[in-house]
Amino acid sequence: MRLGVDVGGTTVKVGFIDNYEIVDRLVVETKKETLFDDVFVAVKEYATKKNYKIDGIGVGLPGHVVGTVIDRLPNVGISNLDVKPIANKYFPGVFVACTNDANAAALGELLADDDKKASAYMITLGTGVGGGLVIDGKVRDGSHSNCGEIGHMFVDYVHNYKCSCGLNGCLETVASATGIVRVANQYQHEFKTTLEGEITSAKAVIDAAKAGDPLGLFVLDVVADSLGRSISIIELAVDVDTFYIGGGVSNAGDILINRIADYYKRYAHYAVKDINIKRAKLGNDAGMLGAAYLW
């Protein structure tokens, strides 16, 4: 049985996986100082009780990781830590692999589709914007384990908002949940809208768009434009079959995905116009499933 671990800020989700199916799961409350000990102690106890034999452990992490060594997890507050020796303390000799959570989710989504050896890219639209690349069924981290940092592509020439990374016009300044709130507030007074007062929630903007609100629809159009442009650029570099769109903002559904696809066609090179742009379907399970198939 394979173990897929999805590390979050305060809870860690663990999937017990057999033949691409999550057959059992565990959620572990953790403390920052003892996060991985907390996880593997709980897993060991549970696996022993259930008589599960663990053949390998894959871990998806919200930040920069090189091999099994965490460089920095900004939202968890962990840096410079090797996961492998901690895992092997509880599971001696078991194979351990790590990657960032966007890569793990990309692989998970691909594995849930028919062709497990295909190539795909996943874009996660959350507080920020992340990316994960799978080529021929294998996660690709890149030479600096940095190939998913697409949130900082310069694509928004129109607003050129300042980004947290120090650059301007980054994709995530408009296409993340925080970006949606930013754009909505800027254009609020130019539309007859049900969104009154200071707008603080991306979900409220998305819900308004779904109900046909002109400001909500305009904001989603800005988001879709920036994503269609970004995907057209990424596709020229990676040439994959499918882009999955996930994360909280993707809950906007077809109204967003179809617009992204329309903008993509407008910007895309003629040789790659015919690709799939789909909404991710596994939600939080994608990270666990993908992490379990890193080897």
Q: Is the CB of 56 or the CB of 169 nearer to Zn ion? A: 169
Q: Considering CB under 5 A, how many residues would be counted as binding Zn ion? A: 5
Instruction: Report how far residue 217's alpha carbon sits from residue 207's, in angstroms, rounded to the nearest whole number.
Output: 10
Q: Is the CB of 157 or the CB of 295 nearer to Zn ion? A: 157
Instruction: Report how far residue 212's alpha carbon sits from residue 197's, in angstroms, rounded to the nearest whole number.
Output: 19
Our finding on whether 237 is near Zn ion (CB under 5 A) is no
Cα angle value 54/83/24 (rounded, 5°) = 35
Our finding on whether 179 is near Zn ion (CB under 5 A) is no
Our finding on whether 165 is near Zn ion (CB under 5 A) is yes
Torsion 205-206-212-217 (CA) sign: positive
Site for Zn ion in 21-80 (CB under 5 A): none
Q: How far is the CB of 150 from Zn ion (least distance, A)?
A: 10
Asked whether the beta carbons of 112 and 289 are under 8 A apart, the reply is: yes
Per-residue binding string, Zn ion, 123-152, x by CB under 5 A, is -----------------------------x
Our finding on whether 174 is near Zn ion (CB under 5 A) is no
Per-residue binding string, Zn ion, 195-234, x by CB under 5 A, is ----------------------------------------
Q: Is the CB of 92 or the CB of 166 nearer to Zn ion? A: 166
DSSP sequence for 205-220: HHHHHHTT-HHHHHHH
Amino acid at 158: V
Q: Is the CB of 56 or the CB of 128 nearer to Zn ion? A: 128
* Burial of 175 per CB tally in 10 Å (0-12, 13-18, 19+): buried
Residues that bind Zn ion (CB under 5 A): 152, 163, 165, 167, 170
